[in-house]
Structure 1
Amino acid sequence: MIAANLFVTPRNWPAAQGLVTASAQSVSLATPAECVRRVGQHFPDIWPRLDRLRVKYADGAHGFPDHWYLPFNGIVPVLDDLLEEMVQAGARVGNVPGVTVNMLATLAGWRVTQGVYRFDPTLYNALIATPIEGKLPTELLSRLPEWTVYIETPGMRWAGETLHGVFAQVGDLHDGAEILTLVAHTAGPNHTVSGVSIRLDEETIEASLEAVYFRHAAKGLALDADEFSTLHVVPQLISLLLYLCSEAAEIGDGAHRPVRPVPRKTKKGTRMFPAERPAAWGVGMRLGAALRRTWNDEDRAGKVPGSINASPRPHVRRAHWHKFLRGSRQNPKPVLRWLPPMPINVDASDDLVPTVRPVVAAVSAPRSSSPKTDQ
């Protein structure tokens, strides 16, 4: 029953039971929690089944990376059994796109944390304007703070509809290749939930995005208008995700950070429970405030960026790779390091959360072994 496809929309799903009417749909689906509930109506009992599956993998000997919530090949038999039961109960079930498996894993991973990430508007606009190019390795996306994050997306559209937000998770496919799944939470009644999965088996994120078009062309397929416009938004969403993955990401108030829960022991055995309520995480709030304050001060002072004696305007330098050489002068080895988005010329004395890290005393190294910049 599982068929391979890139996109999934409600028209591919089994008919749901007891759905809300179209007039109430836009209201009931205004939150990500209600969006997940709606998907559960298309696949009755899917969430408890996946919770139980996760418990089986909780011993750490599951053989897949910690940033995956559930493996593709573990979910498939669970979903196949459910679909077969639905058929026996009289439900009309057709071929379900393979990406539906990743979509269900993505939403199941969000249920147990329910983190909602709300970016500061100034930082948000700076990040979505950052192009995805250069040597940004796909591995960076595995550093999301939770198995699945939900990011709010003001001003964005998905397949012609207002995009409330996106659920994002890195998991795998049937062949073990890593994949980034984005599940869109839209306002329209026809595309309430849709998804796209991007293979991450290329060296860089940019190459992975380009490969989507090449794979479709190789199969003699063409993206329709909705799919093409959707992929135009994907790089902007990835820029937001990269900030969450960066080492210096400002998430929350600095006192608390998102965590991945563990199963709890109960009288009925070990169980995985969904979060009691959504947890809102402010992202870059103090950084955005510092940027706005500095920009306003500069405008009032009448400084003209780029003029003589003027410092570069405060901005967020986009994420990029920096190459340097390590080792002896006779045998230097190039090393690449990813530098996250960072504020330039921002007075952050009062508005940024300080990051405190332990300092380990270093042994003095020979002068010939010091890194040599090679940009």
Structure 2
Amino acid sequence: MSETNHLGHAKRPNELLAAYTQRFPNAHRDIDEMRMEMRGVSAPDWPDWCYAPITCSQAAIANHLGVCVTHLGASSPFAVMDATAFAALAAWRKTRGVYTFDPTVYQEVCETPLDGQLPCDLLLRMPEWCVYLPTPNMSILGGSIHGCFVHLEHDVNNQRAELRLLFDVGCDDYQLFYPVPIHLGNWTLAEAHDRANMVIAASQGPLGMLRMPDEPAIKQAIATATKAVVNLVLFLCSQASDISGRQGRPGNPTPTKTRKGFKVFAAQQTREWLVGARMGSALRKAQSLRDGAAELTERNGPRPHIRRAHWHTYRTGPRICGGQRIPSTERQAQLRWLHPTLVRVCDEDRLTTVVYPIT
């Protein structure tokens, strides 16, 4: 299956970026100034994995409206949520990366259980400050969830790291976002997902403000989509070698020195990435054996089956230092997605060998 068959999802996020840039024409400039000139000086500092906290976007929107940022919520019922959306779009604007998954890998990864002792800090390894994930086959009450902006947030008030999901649930006539914050900390990803579900259940609807009919069904759809997207992001963080595109490798831009100081320029065009192409091809070849695999086993033995995909954490680095054993919790965690595996297939000659180059 060719790469071009999987790509072509850049139109939607670019239209959203253009719409918000037109509404708040100076907000990008204000956020850039806060990030490059005020960060750690007249404004709190934040980690490099966060492009700019949502508070910067709130200040930029308040400046556009001509109000004090502390009065932003009172000045306009949607101003705070506009700032939430703009924070994701501002971060995405710097790289404009659209990550389209191979269809087979997409389905398997979305359905992978979020269980086990998966540490939250695995999500701090995103390839870019913000990514856009097309979400085919996701819907709310018959309407499509077109995609999801995903970025990392640093809450300057409590120094907490968050994975922020911004679901695009609008249509051609309007933009409607459903934000989901996932608090990261000294707990597992399963616990973080459970906490996110509680936030979704307590929210008032899309954008945290709108009351809509069939609200329980909407929240259930968002909760299901949240688990799937977290799995997709985990794949991006752990399987960098299976991300391909014409632009080389994904990554955040480095600041460029100008006459006015250093500046991070916005991407001039969308960068489309295909995720899981090699693995998807191997999975399809393996799954094609499933229907006829029964004849390959002993008549009285268990039927061949595919062991479900799951996440597995490996600890890397030295085990002993200075004669002392290093606890496994202090060694670096490397996450791997273990794809579905054929079990009880005796005729291995009928399996296709797939070679992965190692660099």
- With the shorter chain as reference, the TM-score category is 0.7 to 0.9
Matches within 5 A, 1:1-375: 30-56=11-37, 63-84=45-66, 93-96=75-78, 100-158=82-140, 161-173=143-155, 174-188=157-171, 189-201=173-185, 203-214=187-198, 224-225=215-216, 226-247=218-239, 249-252=241-244, 256-267=248-259, 269-297=261-289, 299=291, 303=295, 317-321=309-313, 333-335=327-329, 337-343=333-339, 344=341, 347-350=352-355, 352=356, 354-356=357-359
In 1, the alpha carbon distance for the partners of 2:252 and 2:39 equals 12
In the alignment, what sits opposite 2:347?
A: none
The letter for the 2-side match of 1:119 is F
The 8 Å contact of residues 316 and 341 in structure 1, kept in 2 or not, is answered as: no
Q: Secondary structure at the match of 2:98?
A: strand
Aligned-pair distance for 1:348? 4.8
Q: Secondary structure at the match of 2:20?
A: helix
In 2, the alpha carbon distance for the partners of 1:160 and 1:40 equals 30
Aligned-pair distance for 1:107? 1.2
The 8 Å contact of residues 99 and 132 in structure 2, kept in 1 or not, is answered as: yes
Aligned-pair distance for 1:187? 4.4
In the alignment, what sits opposite 1:7?
A: none
In 2, the alpha carbon distance for the partners of 1:104 and 1:277 equals 19
The letter for the 1-side match of 2:354 is S
Aligned-pair distance for 1:298? 5.4
The 8 Å contact of residues 88 and 166 in structure 2, kept in 1 or not, is answered as: yes
In 2, the alpha carbon distance for the partners of 1:45 and 1:347 equals 55
The letter for the 2-side match of 1:45 is N
Root-mean-square deviation (CA, aligned residues, Å) is: 4.0
Against the structure 1 CA distance between its residues 141 and 211, is the aligned structure 2 distance closer, same or farther, given a 3 Å change threshold? same
The 8 Å contact of residues 109 and 309 in structure 2, kept in 1 or not, is answered as: no
Against the structure 1 CA distance between its residues 150 and 264, is the aligned structure 2 distance closer, same or farther, given a 3 Å change threshold? same
The letter for the 2-side match of 1:291 is L
Cα deviation 1:332-352 (Å, max 9, x = unaligned):
8454845411344674534x4
Gap regions ≥5 residues in structure 1: 1-28, 357-375
TM-score by length of 2: 0.73
Q: What number of residue pairs does the alignment pair up?
A: 320
The 8 Å contact of residues 138 and 202 in structure 1, kept in 2 or not, is answered as: yes
In 1, the alpha carbon distance for the partners of 2:298 and 2:151 equals 41
Cα deviation 1:286-343 (Å, max 9, x = unaligned):
1101111232255456656897778965667311346899569x98845484541134
The letter for the 2-side match of 1:246 is S
The 8 Å contact of residues 158 and 233 in structure 1, kept in 2 or not, is answered as: no
Cα deviation 1:335-370 (Å, max 9, x = unaligned):
4845411344674534x4x232xxxxxxxxxxxxxx
Aligned-pair distance for 1:150? 0.7
Aligned-pair distance for 1:248? 5.2
Aligned-pair distance for 1:222? 7.1
Aligned-pair distance for 1:257? 0.9
TM-score by length of 1: 0.71
The 8 Å contact of residues 295 and 313 in structure 1, kept in 2 or not, is answered as: no
Against the structure 1 CA distance between its residues 42 and 306, is the aligned structure 2 distance closer, same or farther, given a 3 Å change threshold? farther
